């Protein structure tokens, strides 16, 4: 199974963000992952709209947006207009989940649900026919540099077992190391959101890192 390697731009060097995007693009990474936070749904603030616009204009690769915010449906039209290819929402943050997912698709975008470590697969099952991607958080959302939560792998297997009945890809986000990529790929995970555990802050080029991760 071909992996989707998705650098988390929250972890990039913001002093030279455009250069970071160009080098990651040339290295062969697949999707640029953008985190947006409101300080309410998660206790932190993420990237800004200008950051998104810069990344979007710098690459022709897909760009996703992970809305870690209350009432994400209010921002679907905005991010669709800015050029997001995939829009992730947290069901816990939206009182009209099916409406929001339908709106994402009406805009011609891929719809995704992002799932916190404490959220069960069973509670997400009613929405699975509406989504293209299931993003499983392997850390508590909101901060980079956390430890990987091993117990979440049981939930990953739940979604692997449900997958034959639906049409989605499984993604994971949070402290994803090269070892996690190898093991989770074997379990059936398609895509990996990559931060400081595998891509950023290393003493190798992005080309070298990308090749090693594909290995």
User: Where in the sequence numbering do the catalytic residues fall?
Assistant: 35, 173
Q: What is the rounded radius of gyration, in angstroms, for the C-alpha atoms of the chain?
A: 16
Cα–Cα distance between 191 and 9 in angstroms, integer?
15
> CA neighbours within 13 Å on the CB side: how many for 135?
29
Cα–Cα distance between 149 and 16 in angstroms, integer?
32
> CA neighbours within 13 Å on the CB side: how many for 96?
10
DSSP code at position 123? H
For 188, the enclosing helix (H) or strand (E) is: none
Name the residue among 177, 208, 202 with its Cα closest to residue 192.
177
Cα–Cα distance between 150 and 153 in angstroms, integer?
6
Question: Is the CA virtual torsion 132, 138, 143, 144 positive or negative?
Answer: negative
């Amino acid at each position: 199974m071909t992996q989707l390697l998705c650098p988390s731009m929250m972890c990039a060097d913001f002093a030279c963000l455009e250069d970071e995007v160009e080098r990651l693009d040339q290295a062969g990474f697949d999707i640029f992952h953008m985190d947006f936070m409101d300080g309410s749904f998660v206790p932190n603030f993420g990237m800004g709209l200008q950051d998104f616009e810069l990344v979007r204009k710098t690459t022709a690769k897909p760009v996703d947006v992970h809305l870690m915010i209350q009432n994400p449906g209010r921002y679907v039209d905005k991010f669709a207009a800015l050029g997001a290819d995939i829009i992730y929402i947290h069901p816990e943050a939206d009182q009209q989940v099916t409406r929001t997912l339908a709106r994402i698709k009406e805009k011609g975008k891929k719809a995704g649900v992002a799932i916190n470590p404490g959220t069960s697969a069973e509670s997400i099952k009613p929405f699975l026919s509406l989504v293209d991607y299931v993003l499983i958080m392997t850390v508590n959302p909101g901060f980079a540099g956390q430890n990987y939560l091993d117990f979440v792998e049981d939930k990953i297997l739940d979604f692997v077992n449900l997958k034959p009945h639906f049409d989605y890809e499984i993604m994971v986000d949070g402290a994803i190391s090269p070892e996690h990529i190898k093991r989770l790929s074997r379990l059936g995970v398609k895509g990996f959101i990559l931060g400081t555990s595998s891509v950023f802050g290393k003493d190798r080029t992005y080309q070298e890192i990308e090749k090693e991760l594909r290995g």
